[in-house]
Amino acid sequence: MNLARHLLLSAQRLPGQPAVIERDRVEHTYSVLARRTLALAGALRSRLGVAAGGRVALVMRNNAAYVESLYACWAAGAAAIPVNVKLHARELAFILDDARAQVCFVTDDVDAGAIDAARTGGPTRFVDVDSREYRALLHEAPIAVADVAPDDVAWLFYTSGTTGQPKGVMLTHRNLLSMTLNYLADVDAAAAGEHLLHAAPMSHGSGIYVLPNVAAAATQLIPASRGFEVAEIDEILALVPKVKFFAAPTMLMRLVDGIKGDAEGLKSVIYGGGPMYVADCLRALDRLGPRLVQIYGQGEAPMTITVLPAAEHVDDHDGRRLQRLASVGRAQTGVELAVLGADDRPLAEGEVGEVAVRGEMVMRGYLNNAEATARTLAAGWLHTGDLGHLDAQGYLTLVDRSKDLIISGGSNIYPREVEEVLLRHPQLREAAVVGLADADWGEIAVAVVAAQPGARPTEQELDALCLQHIARFKRPKRYVFVDELPKNATGKVLKRELREQLGLSPPR
């Protein structure tokens, strides 16, 4: 079940097919990528001392070496630890220590000395993938792909740590095979000749989607910027056929607002990782056409809980299109989905509770954290921490993270519901609603909003809009205007950081 075998099968089937394009140049065909991967796997074993079961960190900006180093880890029987290159040196040091990484592949923008200085654990060998040392590793004798058990760890994904120290999610070969099959069945029927554009960090969702696209012999496309630049994507879509990419909703809307061409080469945008408001979704469909696919997942169930396919974004055979667009779709194939009450029993349709899932994609657990593992995987379910409800057709609508729920005067306020209403105002670009401790009400809702360039809606206008659509007690008691909301590398709004910036004490 070793995931590296998918690469070898694609190389055997289509050896001359472009596997990786970077900066408008074919870096590797599938036969070359397979050869380099097995040589690097041999070097991990013989030169760098990584035995089966070892761990190798990838702290790199998006680049061609990401693909071969990821598969080399698996070919050697090791676990890969892709990490956000933008983390602080102390955060990176914590991850390397917690994972006990023996080797860390980096790009030249990473300050390995600062990371090492913050370490408290054992030694880690840092190797720059642009260095002569790395190129020498690629001349090592290739090895056969290691035999691994289905539940051996393949990918250690560290959570963002918004509620404390990040936790290492242990994703196995079985988990990632399940994700791969679900992607191909439910999300995108990938094929040779298509291009997966890595505009989002490969340490997260974009990198996860390397797996099904390598299995299908599609091409990995690394833009010259190595990131998300609207003008660059515009040019790519005018020249390159059958392009798809993963994007957070904020990235998708930046594309919608900034793209100049007709997106002729675009096959699909697979979006997720944060709320997509109905008004924004309609605007994106109007600009890009029926090319949107929504997925819902999390690190503990990588990209694989629900899906809203492209056809369901536009089909209105039953008059419920807008309700579907407000949802995150239905369970992916083989995924068991439920909304649980406080007693961990499934609730009736329409009742709000915690979203829980089970299936082959659910993580093995958290590394070095049995207590958090037991809590999150209680009663045989993965407890996502998200609040939502199911309808009679099985569509899941998320209302918020459980920790973001606002309880004001004994009544529940779900921030996303209020945000959806605020974003109906044509002059608003972004909105986030957070709870603020209040002596009289327990908590009050505070709306932090960013207006369109040159615009400034009044608080009275926003208040009136809320009163038109939601109960009076749900409307924000205070409005704060900012230029932009703080976000992480994947475009998710950081509400804790938002509170800190504005001096808003959390309610609990």
CA atoms within 13 A on the CB side of 59: 28
- The one-character DSSP state at 266 is E
508 band by pLDDT with thresholds 50, 70 and 90: very low
pLDDT of residue 133: 97
Question: pLDDT tens for residues 193-244?
Answer: 999 999 999 998 999 999 999 999 999 999 999 999 999 999 999 999 999 9
Amino acid letter at 245? F
pLDDT tens digits, one per residue of 152-170? 999 999 986 544 578 999 9
Rounded to 10°, the helix 30-46/4-13 angle is 150
Which residue's structure tokens are 């919608």?
A: 256
Domain end call among 173, 203, 224:
173
pLDDT digits (tens, 9 = 90+) for 272-318: 987 788 999 999 999 999 999 999 999 999 999 999 999 999 999 89
**b/e burial code for range 209-246 (CB count within 10 A of at least 16 → b):** bbbbbbbbbbbbbbbeebbbbbeebbbbbeebebbbbb
pTM for the whole structure? 0.83
Identify whether 451 is part of a domain.
Answer: yes
- CA atoms of 397 and 329, how far apart (whole Å): 8
Q: What DSSP state is assigned to residue 140? A: S
Instruction: Look at residue 507 and tell me whether its pLDDT is greater than 50.
Output: no
Range of weakest confidence among 366-380, 408-422, 493-507: 493-507
505, pLDDT greater than 60: no
Last residue of a domain, one of 138, 173, 208: 173
DSSP line for 80-124: EEE--TTS-HHHHHHHHHHHT-SEEEE-TTS-HHHHHHT--SS--
Query: Sign of the CA dihedral 141, 147, 152, 154?
Result: positive
Q: What is the pLDDT of residue 490?
A: 64
pLDDT in tens, 172-201: 999 999 999 999 999 999 999 999 999 999
Phi/psi at 293 (nearest 5 deg)? Answer: -130, 125
Helix ranges (DSSP H) in 183-240 = 205-208, 210-215, 230-239
The answer to the question of residue 319 being in a domain is no
Contacts of 315 (CB under 8 A, 6+ apart): 321
Q: Is residue 124 part of a domain?
A: yes
Contacts of residue 468, Cβ cutoff 8 Å, sequence gap at least 6 = none
The count of other CB atoms within 10 Å of the CB of residue 17 is: 18
- Residue 335 has a pLDDT of 97
Q: Which residues pair with 408 in a beta bridge?
A: 411
Query: Of 106, 140, 173, which residue constitutes the final position of a domain?
Result: 173
Say which residue, 383 or 494, is predicted with more confidence: 383
Give the pLDDT confidence score for residue 410 in this predicted structure. 61
pLDDT value at residue 275: 75
Q: Can you spell out the DSSP letters for 53-81?
A: T-EEEEE--S-HHHHHHHHHHHHTTPEEE
Closest residue by Cα to residue 284 from 321, 236, 316, 251: 251
What does the pLDDT read at residue 409? 67
Mean of the per-residue pLDDT values of the chain? 92
Query: pLDDT tens digit string along 438-476?
Result: 777 777 899 999 999 999 899 999 999 998 888 788 899
Query: Average pLDDT for residues 398-405, to the nearest whole number?
Result: 76
Q: Which two tokens stand for residue 241?
A: 């056929």
* Containing structural domain, residue 7: 1-13+23-173
Q: Which residue has the higher pLDDT, 504 or 334?
A: 334
Q: Is residue 360 part of a domain?
A: no
What CATH number has the domain bearing residue 136?
3.40.50.12780
Number of structural domains the chain divides into: 2
The answer to whether position 47 is within a domain reads yes
Q: What are the C-alpha distances in Å from 482 to residues 122, 191, 479, 486, 501?
A: 44, 43, 10, 10, 11
Residue 469: inside a domain:
yes
Closest by Cα among 152, 100, 162, 106 to 403 = 162
DSSP string, 324-370: HHHS--EEPTT-EEEEE-TTS-BPPTT--EEEEEESTTS-SEETT-H
CB 41 within 8 A of CB 29: no
Query: Do the Cβ atoms of 131 and 156 come closer than 8 Å?
Result: no
Q: Does some domain include residue 423?
A: yes
280 part of a folded domain: no
For residue 359, which amino acid is it? G
**Bridge partners for 382 per DSSP:** 357
Residue 426: count of CB within 10 angstroms of its CB: 9
Q: Among 504, 463, 23, 508, which Cα is nearest to 240's?
A: 23
CATH number at 442 reads 3.30.300.30
- Find tokens 């696209």 and name the residue: 213
Q: Is the dihedral of CA 322, 323, 328, 331 positive or negative?
A: negative
